[in-house]
């Protein structure tokens, strides 16, 4: 019960952080675009709850929730979006490249599907070093039509690597329904059998269901039985990016999914377990206060130092390093 309450609070903080990012974007304090994950929180939080602190996570450009589920703070994420020196990547990554390597969050990637082979490489590294770590790759349904998806699954299966492929199937690849361009009903799980990989289709809006499913896949990976595919069905509550009003989605579809908000589902489950509405309200208020303080701190943080732009990248000092 306490574990569910902790996951609920984590989702509440993530939701409010993304709302703050939206508001800051609309006032011009966040440059570029953002890809919000409101509605996806249960996938990131539930999966992370089943992982060890030293496990590896790779995410997409819609990765605020993954970074925060792995320990990134609201303040350092918002500061990154606002190009502040205190940002998680010192303002070099922005919204689409949140990274916290010391927490196993090995990056968010803007190139669709590019990180799946990286997760396979991380799993291979863990196997060679005998650490017992697993690697997790989160990706959208659209990535299943990318060659890297198939290459990653194939090699992971051949080498029986400790990697878990988690598809956040929100049914749209940008503006196109995934079903309109994909031959199988389940874009990730439906293809896993071709690589002899076990697959599971789950309710991605139920944080407990996600945690349990990932826990099973983690156990399989750590025991040496190889990779798994989990297709978590969920729904983004905003458009693809801040430039997208999402008018292409049927109103009744949106209404149906909003009634299955992952935070509302977790709240209802908490109440069945004896957590009172007042206790939940206290968590919600604490989450809001936390994010409000993060916004204020990020607003007041110094601007990023331009000299930092060439640090911590391959080009920095590479000629010296090679000689």
d(CA 309, CA 304): 9
> What pLDDT is attached to residue 315?
56
> What pLDDT is attached to residue 1?
39
Q: pLDDT tens digits, the chain, 323 residues: what are they?
A: 369 999 999 999 999 999 999 999 989 999 888 999 999 999 999 999 999 999 999 999 999 999 999 999 999 999 999 999 999 999 999 999 999 999 999 999 999 999 999 999 999 999 999 999 999 999 999 999 999 999 999 999 999 999 999 999 999 999 999 999 999 999 999 999 999 999 999 999 999 999 999 999 999 999 999 999 999 999 999 889 878 888 999 999 999 999 999 999 999 999 999 999 999 999 999 999 999 999 999 999 999 998 888 777 765 555 555 55
**pTM, 2 dp:** 0.94
d(CA 262, CA 268): 10
For the domain spanning 2-302, the CATH number is 3.40.50.970
Cβ burial of 231 (10 Å; 0-12, 13-18, 19+) is buried
> What pLDDT is attached to residue 32?
83
d(CA 8, CA 2): 10
d(CA 234, CA 19): 19
Give the N- to C-terminal CA distance of the chain in Å, as an integer.
Answer: 57
DSSP 208: H
Structure tokens, 4: 């569910």
d(CA 177, CA 131): 40
Domain residue ranges in the chain? 2-302
| Closest to 138 measured CA to CA, from 198, 74, 188 | 188
Beta bridge partners of 202: 232
Tell me if 246 sits within 8 A of 238, measured CB to CB. Answer: yes
Tell me if 164 sits within 8 A of 221, measured CB to CB. Answer: yes
d(CA 208, CA 85): 36
Tell me if 69 sits within 8 A of 274, measured CB to CB. Answer: no
Report the DSSP pairing between strands 176-177 and 172-173. Answer: antiparallel
> What pLDDT is attached to residue 312?
76
Residue partners of 252: CB distance under 8 A and separation at least 6: none
> What pLDDT is attached to residue 243?
81
Share in percent of the chain as helix, strand, coil (round to 5): 50, 15, 35
How far is CA 138 from each of CA 9, 31, 229, rounded to the nearest angstrom?
22, 25, 10
- For the residues of 277-311, what is the DSSP string, one character each? HHHHHHHHHHHHHHHHHHHHHHHHSPBPPGGGGGS
């Amino acid at each position: 019960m306490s574990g569910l309450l902790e996951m609920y609070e984590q989702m509440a903080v993530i939701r409010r952080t993304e709302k703050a990012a939206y508001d800051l974007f609309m006032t011009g304090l966040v440059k570029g675009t953002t890809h919000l994950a409101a509605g996806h929180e249960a996938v990131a939080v539930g999966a992370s709850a089943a992982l060890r602190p030293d496990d590896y996570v790779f995410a997409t450009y819609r990765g605020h929730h993954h970074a925060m589920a792995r320990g990134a703070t609201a303040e350092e994420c918002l500061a990154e979006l606002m190009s502040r020196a205190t940002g998680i990547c010192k303002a070099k990554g922005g919204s689409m490249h949140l990274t916290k390597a010391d927490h196993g969050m090995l990056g968010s990637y803007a190139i669709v599907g590019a990180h799946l082979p990286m997760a396979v490489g991380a799993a291979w590294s863990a196997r060679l070093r005998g650490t017992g770590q697993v690697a997790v790759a989160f990706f959208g349904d659209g990535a299943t039509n990318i060659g890297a998806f198939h290459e990653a699954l194939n090699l992971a299966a051949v080498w029986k690597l400790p990697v878990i492929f988690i598809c956040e199937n929100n049914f749209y690849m940008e503006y196109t329904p995934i079903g309109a361009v994909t031959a199988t009903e389940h874009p990730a799980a439906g293809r896993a059998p071709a690589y002899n990989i076990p697959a599971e289709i789950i309710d991605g809006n139920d944080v407990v269901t996600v945690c349990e499913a990932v826990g099973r896949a983690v156990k399989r990976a750590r025991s040496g039985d190889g990779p798994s595919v989990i297709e978590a069905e969920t729904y983004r509550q905003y458009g693809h990016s801040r430039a997208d009003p999402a008018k292409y989605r049927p109103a009744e579809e949106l209404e149906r999914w909003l009634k299955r908000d992952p935070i509302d589902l977790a709240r209802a489950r908490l109440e069945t377990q004896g957590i009172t509405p007042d206790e939940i309200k206290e968590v919600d208020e604490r989450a809001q206060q936390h994010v409000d303080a993060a916004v204020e701190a990020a607003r007041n943080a110094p601007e990023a130092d331009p000299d930092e732009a060439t640090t911590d990248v391959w080009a920095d000092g590479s000629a010296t390093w090679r000689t």
